[in-house]
């Protein structure tokens, strides 16, 4: 069974998730304002994708490799409060 690589939810992604939660928007409200570059901090750049109905980010690893990660509004809330500590990484397609 294949397990995707993971990255620790560091302060950069936690700060982004705190901003997302502070917006107090529902998924339907995020759908109306999707943008793939609304957040950039540290190794992360991305935003909300209405098709996926998730936040999608590129992550640049310390070795220079680019990965993709995505998560729901509910997961963003868990990251913001420190309940979720890692994110799955996927190869860009």
**Domain residue ranges of the chain, discontinuous segments joined by +:** 15-46+67-83
What local confidence, expressed as pLDDT, does residue 4 receive? Answer: 80
φ and ψ of 61, to 5 deg: -70, 160
DSSP 81: T
d(CA 30, CA 36): 12
Q: CA separation (Å) from 78 to 42, 65, 72, 74?
A: 20, 26, 10, 7
| pTM of the complete model | 0.92
**Positions in the chain short of pLDDT 70:** 1-2
Q: In this structure, what token pair is assigned to residue 71?
A: 């998560």
What local confidence, expressed as pLDDT, does residue 1 receive? Answer: 61
- What is the separation of C-alpha 74 from the centre of its chain, rounded to a whole number of angstroms? 11
85 contacts 9 by C-beta, under 8 angstroms: yes
φ and ψ of 9, to 5 deg: -75, 95
């Amino acid at each position: 069974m294949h397990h995707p690589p993971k990255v620790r939810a560091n302060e950069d992604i936690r700060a982004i998730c705190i901003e997302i939660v502070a917006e107090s928007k529902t998924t339907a409200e995020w759908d109306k304002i999707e943008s793939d570059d609304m957040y950039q901090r540290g190794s992360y750049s991305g935003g909300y994708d209405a098709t996926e109905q998730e936040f999608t980010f590129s992550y640049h690893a310390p070795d220079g490799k680019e990965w993709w990660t995505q998560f729901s509004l509910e997961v963003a809330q868990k990251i913001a409060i420190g309940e979720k500590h890692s994110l799955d990484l996927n190869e860009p397609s």
